[in-house]
Structure formats: C-alpha cells, structure tokens
C-alpha cells in the first residue's frame, strides 16, 4: 500500500496495534466505540455516514492519513454492496405518500465498525492498495465553543481526497471546509458528512469542479431540507469550501463563513460573504416578497443575519441554497489560506489576521504549530463571543522564502519537459514531512469551551525535550508522569524506558486528581506488566496532552503507551 518500505512498515504496525486494542466483533449488547450524531440514516446518506464513522474512529487512534482514507473507502464500498433493507424501519405510510426507507444509525454504526475490523484483519495480511507517496498541505486547526452554550461549528479536512474516493490518474486533490450552524448543529453535521460525497458524484466533477461544487451545495441543501421536514429540524448552516486540484484553487460558499488567500504576505480577496445588507442580496430577497430590516444587525425578515444557507426550510426561498463559486490559478507564490466562520471574521480583519500569522511565524522560526490557536485567541481577545473555527492551510513551506519569478519560470519549463502539473506541485513540497490529518468533521465540542487538546487539531507544542514516561501511585488511582531528566531515581525500576518527545516544559499527566506518591517498586513479571499496560492504556485516552506531541512524531497516542515499559507498583494490583 505504501510508497516506501518504511511507510508500509508503519501501516502494518498500526494495524497490529489497532486490532489488539479493538474489542471486536461488536455484539448487540456491546457499547459502540463512538456514538453517531444522527438518529436515522436514509439510503442516500449511507456512504457519507460510513466514511465519517470510519475516519473518526481511525483518527481517534492517530491512524496515518492515507491508510485511514483507504480503509474508510474499502469499508464504505463493502457496506454499499451489502443489502441493508433487512435493517430498514417499518413505518406506516400515509395515503398518497411514497415509502422512504430508513434505518437506525446505531445499527448502521455497529455494522460499519465490524466491517472495518474485518478489513483491518485482511489488510494486515496483505496491503492491497498501492500508490505514490503524496505530500500533504501543512495545516493548523483550532476551534472553541467560546461563550456560546453549544458548539455548532463543524470542519472538514481531507488532505488525501483521491484515496478517500478511489480516484485514479488524477492530479492531487485536497478538500477543506468550515460549516457554521445556527438554530442547532444538525445542518452543520449533515453538510460536513455529505457535501464532499455529493461533490465527487457530480457529472461535472472531472472537467468542471467549480460547477460541481455549486451543484453539490444545491443537492446537500435539498436533501437536508427533506430530512428536516421528516425529523422536524429547524436549523441551518453557512459554509465555505476550498478544493485544491493540482495548481488550481476552487472556492464555493454560502453565507458569511469566509476564506482568504495570502500571496507574498498580501491578502487576495477570493469571495464576498452573503449578508442581508449586500445590495444584490437585499434586492433578491425583496423581489421574492421578503424584507431586510435592522434588529441589532441586518436580518432577513427580522430573523436570520445571513441571506444564504443550507437548511432553514421555514425561511425558504428568502434564505436560498445557491452557492457562489470562483476559480483561482496558483503560481507557487501563494503562502496560505485561512478558512474561518463569522465568529472570527466579525472581530478580526483579513489584514489583522495576516499580521498575527506573520508575527507568529517570525517569533517561532516558521513553526506553524500554534498559528490557528493564535488566530482564535486574537478573535476572542477582540471581543468575539461566538463559536470560533479557524483552519490555516499552508500552500508552501513557510520556513522557505517565497519563490522569485525566475524560479517560477524555471519550474514551469521543467514541467513542460516531461512532468504534469501535479508532478510540479509534488516537487514544490517534496521536502515536507507527512502530517497526520484530522477527522473530516470534529465531533467533540459539545461540552468543551476550548479545544486546545482536541484530537482534530494539527497544532502541536514546541521544542524537543528528552525525558521518561513513568507510572506512579496516586491516592486513588495510578498516574502517568513525564520526567525531563534522564537520571535514574532510587525508587524507579531499572527497566523504565527512556523516550524523546516534543514538549516545551516538564508536565505531569494524572489520570485522577491528587498528589503523587512514588514508593519503591520490585521487579514484576513480563506477563503481569503486559496485563497492567493493557489496563493503563485505556486510561491513557483521557490524557489528551500526550496526543499532542505523539502526533508530532506521527505515533499512535494510547497505542504507543502499550509498548512503553513503565514503572509499576505493588499497590497497582488492587486496581486490576
């Protein structure tokens, strides 16, 4: 499957650890590894739901991005070939109404997780998928609930679009999106799960991605309006999508979520958000019989402050689902993209955002790890109380100076002699390390005010620091500790494993609150230690900070813990 022996070895090692961690197959009474966010699934939603469930579950264990995409594709294809009619709900159909087959999302999820387990078992024996190594765009993501009661933003990151949809003989493609829900999160979840699926199934996708994006937005809106009618949902979502194919950028949007392009340190306007106070939007609404009035801000019929959105069925046709789209050729001088919801752009101007990014890169020698966090903090400090989601996609290595026009011309000539446009793009980023990518839509914001340690963030912590991970005894439960010194303390087991991580300062990661009590520990057997590690690694999932710097080294969070020999204590036996 991999483009190199080292990558293939990494994939196989992940599969071994993942299968060891999983408790499969799931029985009817077993709890699901993660809960679906919708109650019912229709036939046209199966593919999107399958892909999302697989990716979310694999990314929870920091699965390599290309492997996760390939496994999700294989699992979804297998599910689409399965007869799911036996799981359809039997509902009374009203006179004159056509039957609409649906199934419980919990049943679908159980089938998907079991099928994913089967795929992993097969692929561990033989990796069937072969492709050239693909460089990914360096990406920084951060999202917070802020002062709002609920988190209604969702975002999508698909750096390996071709693998996820099994697209052959095509330039490298990547998909990034931010959806800002209102009146509930259902519309944002639906768009995040299905818009990219609707995109790839458009007839115009291969020859006109811009038109395909427009039609994908339209289809997503139409299908969600029907779903909202069936399930009595009263919500909507704005959205902005950037789709990269080779050296061409496609942008599509609905509402006031925005994206900007930065080229040689200067803002390039890509779009104009859909707001009721835009003169053309106001005329469109009034021509349909609606009105735009001031009520704290300009609102359609005194209600919504956006003029276009997915959903909002009770406000149709004034709130329409017709997306605008535009196309921009890239010449290699582009620095990065910033996608964000209105919670960011309402308090931070594009020029101010560029200044924040520039200052951060200068202060940190081009390190992009905390860029999105700095942008979110700037919006919050400027007074934003709304949900805030920011994605920064770097189109070139920020540690390198921008290419001159001469370099661009030479690169074009090199491409003309025997390389495709896709090959030129690969050459420009060949030196970058492969990045772990996030899940397509973050599902972990419901009860959190700040997602600094969220598993979908690609922002990591600072300089490297050598130290050791050890297990120590708290007053109630075992605790993990990170020790910056490499000296062996008298009470430590001589077999403690020395490790090197990326972390800026000494930290202790307690599984439970309470002070540490490190008492002498005798040697324990290998089988006992293995049993202990199996128990402790389940608690490690709670230590989100560990995930941050494990990702830095492209390792596997709690799965790596299983391989670390740590300090063991007599009293730990009481907790097994």
φ and ψ of 534, to 5 deg: -60, -35
Say which residue the tokens 């859909």 belong to.
Answer: 274
Q: Which two tokens stand for residue 430?
A: 């060949």
Residue 145, Cα to own-chain centre: how many angstroms?
16
The answer to whether the peptide bond before residue 249 is cis (omega within 30 degrees of 0) is no
d(CA 128, CA 452): 37
Query: Nearest-CA neighbor of 250 among 281, 283, 211, 217?
Result: 211
The answer to whether the Cα torsion of 126, 559, 36, 435 is positive or negative is negative
| Grouped pLDDT means (10 residues each) for the chain, 576 residues | 72 90 81 84 93 93 90 95 81 56 89 94 84 74 93 95 91 95 95 97 95 97 94 95 96 96 94 94 94 91 93 94 96 95 96 96 90 96 95 91 56 38 33 36 37 28 39 49 43 34 35 31 50 52 42 40 32 34
Give DSSP secondary structure letters for 90-159.
--PPPTTPPP--EEEHHHHHHHHHHHHHHHHHHHHH------------EEEEEEE-TTSSS--EEEEEES
DSSP classification of residue 31: P
Which is the CATH superfamily of the domain at 138-272+310-428? PPM-type phosphatase domain (3.60.40.10)
**Residue 134: what pLDDT?**
65
pLDDT of residue 7: 81
What is the rounded CA–CA span in Å between residue 235 and residue 447?
20
Q: Is the peptide bond before 317 cis (omega within 30 degrees of 0)?
A: yes
C-alpha distances (whole Å) from 548 to each of 424, 532, 552, 558 are 32, 24, 7, 12
Tell me the helices (H) and strands (E) count for the chain, helix number first: 16, 19
**Residue 483 to residue 498: CA distance in whole angstroms:** 10
Q: How far is CA 179 from the centre of its chain?
A: 12
- The count of other CB atoms within 10 Å of the CB of residue 478 is 22
What is the reported pLDDT for 359?
A: 94
pLDDT of residue 69: 93
H or E element that contains 168: none
Q: 3-class DSSP state for residue 431?
A: coil
The two tokens of residue 73 are 């594709």
In Å, what is the CA distance from 520 to each residue of 482, 494, 534?
Answer: 18, 11, 22
Structure tokens at 90: 């039997």
Return the half-sphere exposure (C-beta side, CA atoms, 13 A cut-off) of residue 493.
Answer: 22
Joined together, the tokens standing for residue 513 give: 């609150």
Dihedral angle of Cα 525, 526, 529, 531, to the nearest 10 degrees? -110
What pLDDT was estimated at residue 133?
A: 55
Residues 151, 387: Cα–Cα separation, whole Å: 6
CB 156 within 8 A of CB 174: no
Helices (H), 371-450: 371-381, 405-416, 421-428
Its pTM stands at 0.72
Extract the tokens encoding 544: 């989100």
CB 370 within 8 A of CB 138: no
Separation of CA 480 from chain center: 28
Where in the chain are the domains? 5-90+101-125, 138-272+310-428, 464-575
CA-closest candidate to residue 499, choices 509, 479, 484, 511: 484
- Strands of 421-511 (E only): list them: 464-473, 478-483, 498-502, 508-509
Rounded distance between C-alpha atoms, residue 124 and residue 20, angstroms: 12
pLDDT of residue 516: 30
Q: In the structure encoding, which two tokens stand for residue 321, read together?
A: 């689902």
How far is it, in rounded angstroms, from Cα 181 to Cα 233? 12
Q: What is the distance, to the nearest Å, from the Cα of residue 98 to the centroid of all Cα atoms in its chain?
A: 37
């Amino acid at each position: 499957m991999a483009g190199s022996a080292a990558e293939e070895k990494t994939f196989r090692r992940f599969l071994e650890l993942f299968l060891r961690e999983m408790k499969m197959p799931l029985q009817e009474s077993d709890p699901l590894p993660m809960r679906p966010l919708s109650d019912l699934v229709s036939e046209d939603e199966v593919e999107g739901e399958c892909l999302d469930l697989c990716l979310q579950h694999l990314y929870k264990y920091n699965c390599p991005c290309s492997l996760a995409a390939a496994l999700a594709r294989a699992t979804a294809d297998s599910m689409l070939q399965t007869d799911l009619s036996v799981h359809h709900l039997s509902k009374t159909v009203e006179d004159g109404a056509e039957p609409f087959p649906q199934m419980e999302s919990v049943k679908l999820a159980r089938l998907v997780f079991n099928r994913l387990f089967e795929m992993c078992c097969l692929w561990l024996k033989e990796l069937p998928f072969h492709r050239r190594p693909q460089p990914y765009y360096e990406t920084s993501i951060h999202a917070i609930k802020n002062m709002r009661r609920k988190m209604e933003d969702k975002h999508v990151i698909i750096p390996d679009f071709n693998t996820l949809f099994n697209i052959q003989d095509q330039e490298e493609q990547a998909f990034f999106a931010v959806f800002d829900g209102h009146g509930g999160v259902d519309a944002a979840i639906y768009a995040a799960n299905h818009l990219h699926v609707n995109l790839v199934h458009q007839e115009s996708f291969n020859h006109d991605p811009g038109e395909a994006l427009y039609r994908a937005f339209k289809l997503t809106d139409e299908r969600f309006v029907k779903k909202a009618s069936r399930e009595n949902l009263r919500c909507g979502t704005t959205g902005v999508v950037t789709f990269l194919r080779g050296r061409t950028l496609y942008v599509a949007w609905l509402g006031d979520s925005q994206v900007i392009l930065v080229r040689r340190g200067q803002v390039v306007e890509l779009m104009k958000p859909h707001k009721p106070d835009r003169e053309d939007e106001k005329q469109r609404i009034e021509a349909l019989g609606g009105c735009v009035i001031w009520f704290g801000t300009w609102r359609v019929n005194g209600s919504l402050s956006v003029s276009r959105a997915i959903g909002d069925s009770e406000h149709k046709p004034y709130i329409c689902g017709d997306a605008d789209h535009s196309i921009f050729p890239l010449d290699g001088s582009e620095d990065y993209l910033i996608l964000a919801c209105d919670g960011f752009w309402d308090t931070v101007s594009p020029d101010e955002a560029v200044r924040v990014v520039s200052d951060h890169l200068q202060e940190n020698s081009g390190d992009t790890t905390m860029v999105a966090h700095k942008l979110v903090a700037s919006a919050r400090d400027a007074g934003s109380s709304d949900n805030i989601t920011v994605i920064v996609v770097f189109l070139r290595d920020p540690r390198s100076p921008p290419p001159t026009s001469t370099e661009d011309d030479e690169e074009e000539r090199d491409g003309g002699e025997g390389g495709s446009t896709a090959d030129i793009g690969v050459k420009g980023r060949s030196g970058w390390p492969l990045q772990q990518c996030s899940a397509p839509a973050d599902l972990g914001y419901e009860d959190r005010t700040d997602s600094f340690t969220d598993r979908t963030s690609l922002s990591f912590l600072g300089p490297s620091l050598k130290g050791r991970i050890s297990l120590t005894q708290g007053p109630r439960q075992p605790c993990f500790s990170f020790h910056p010194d490499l000296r062996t303390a008298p009470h430590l087991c001589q077999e403690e494993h020395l490790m090197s991580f990326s972390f800026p300062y000494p930290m202790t990661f307690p599984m439970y609150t309470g002070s540490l009590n490190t008492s002498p520990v005798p040697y324990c057997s290998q089988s006992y230690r293995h049993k202990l590690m199996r128990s402790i690694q389940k608690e490690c999932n709670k230590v989100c900070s560990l995930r941050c710097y494990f990702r830095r080294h492209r390792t596997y969070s709690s799965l790596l813990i299983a391989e670390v020999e740590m300090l063991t204590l007599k009293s730990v036996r009481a907790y097994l």
